[in-house]
């Protein structure tokens, strides 16, 4: 994908969603750190359900450390791989208290030294909590970058470096959110929604899906969806 198409791609994504946000709910860098550790191989929805129970009770390194592994597990056992995640979170809380005065560090080296924190998690914290134009690459972003031709790569690191080299500077702060949300809701793994995709004409994917032929109205009738309960979640999404 050439530079002109790349710019057009991000201009369209920005126009559709000027201020994209992670779907994880948090109100402090530490809450985000906990949520991202929990989110490995789990859905944001599942993590939010757990942290809505946890954070009103304990949302600081000291408070979560005081819960201990078993106490923390009681709040997050609905999340996959929770035994290892709880151990990592408790160990991370201990290091934050001992080495960082209870604060989340603002540099990659210190973040990646925390248990349960790898490069992608560090990138998320640096971007979402501290406003740095990093490029966390998850499965959605990896797929979109390769399918579209935006930044092809065989590994996550290759895609990350390709995106950092190719995404125009003005779009880097929000680029990973745009690509993640596009991969989650439009450019899905099994059947991408190419007919309704706003960047389909820029995308270099050779196997684009086509619009299905209309079916008789009787066959497509479905029950009306239930009304969405009123009231917003306690935590903001950022």
Residue among 162, 122, 172 nearest 142 (CA): 162
Predicted local distance difference test score (pLDDT) of residue 212: 73
Residue 237: DSSP 8-state: B
Q: Kindly tell me the burial class for residue 87, based on how many C-beta atoms sit within 10 Å of its own C-beta (0-12, 13-18, 19 or more).
A: middle
Predicted local distance difference test score (pLDDT) of residue 7: 96
Distance separating alpha carbons of residues 235 and 66, to the nearest angstrom:
22
Average pLDDT of each block of 10 consecutive residues along the chain (238 residues)? 96 96 95 96 95 97 97 96 96 98 96 96 96 95 97 97 96 96 95 95 94 44 35 44
Predicted local distance difference test score (pLDDT) of residue 172: 95
Active site residues: 120, 138
Predicted local distance difference test score (pLDDT) of residue 224: 33
Residue among 132, 164, 138 nearest 150 (CA): 164
Predicted local distance difference test score (pLDDT) of residue 234: 44
Distance separating alpha carbons of residues 63 and 61, to the nearest angstrom:
6
What's the longest Cα–Cα distance across the chain? 66
Domain 29-129 annotated CATH 3.40.50.720: no
DSSP string, 145-192: HHHHSSS--SSHHHHHHHHHHHS-GGGHHHHHHHHHHHHHHTS-SSS-
Q: Which CATH class is domain 3-20+134-190?
A: mainly alpha
Write down the domain spans for the chain. 3-20+134-190, 29-129
Distance separating alpha carbons of residues 72 and 60, to the nearest angstrom:
13
Predicted local distance difference test score (pLDDT) of residue 80: 92
């Amino acid at each position: 994908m050439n530079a002109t198409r790349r710019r057009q791609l991000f201009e369209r994504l920005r126009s559709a969603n000027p201020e994209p946000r992670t779907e994880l709910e948090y109100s402090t860098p530490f809450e985000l750190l906990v949520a991202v550790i929990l989110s490995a191989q789990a859905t944001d929805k599942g993590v939010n359900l757990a942290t809505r129970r946890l954070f009103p009770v304990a949302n600081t390194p000291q408070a979560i450390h005081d819960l201990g592994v078993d106490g923390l597990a009681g709040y997050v056992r609905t999340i996959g791989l929770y035994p290892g995640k709880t151990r990592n979170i408790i160990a991370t809380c201990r290091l934050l208290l001992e080495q960082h005065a209870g604060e989340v560090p603002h540099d990659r080296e210190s973040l990646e030294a925390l248990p349960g924190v790898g490069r992608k998690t560090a990138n998320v914290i640096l971007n979402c909590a501290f406003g740095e134009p990093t490029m966390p690459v998850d499965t959605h972003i990896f797929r979109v970058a390769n399918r579209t031709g935006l930044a092809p790569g065989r590994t996550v690191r290759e895609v990350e470096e390709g995106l950092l080299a190719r995404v125009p500077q003005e779009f880097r702060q929000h680029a990973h959110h745009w690509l993640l949300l596009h991969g989650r809701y439009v450019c899905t793994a099994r059947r991408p929604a190419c007919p309704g995709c706003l960047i389909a004409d820029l995308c270099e994917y050779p196997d684009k899906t086509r619009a299905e032929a209309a079916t008789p109205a009787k066959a497509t009738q479905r029950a009306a969806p239930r009304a969405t309960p009123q009231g917003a979640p306690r935590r903001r999404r950022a």
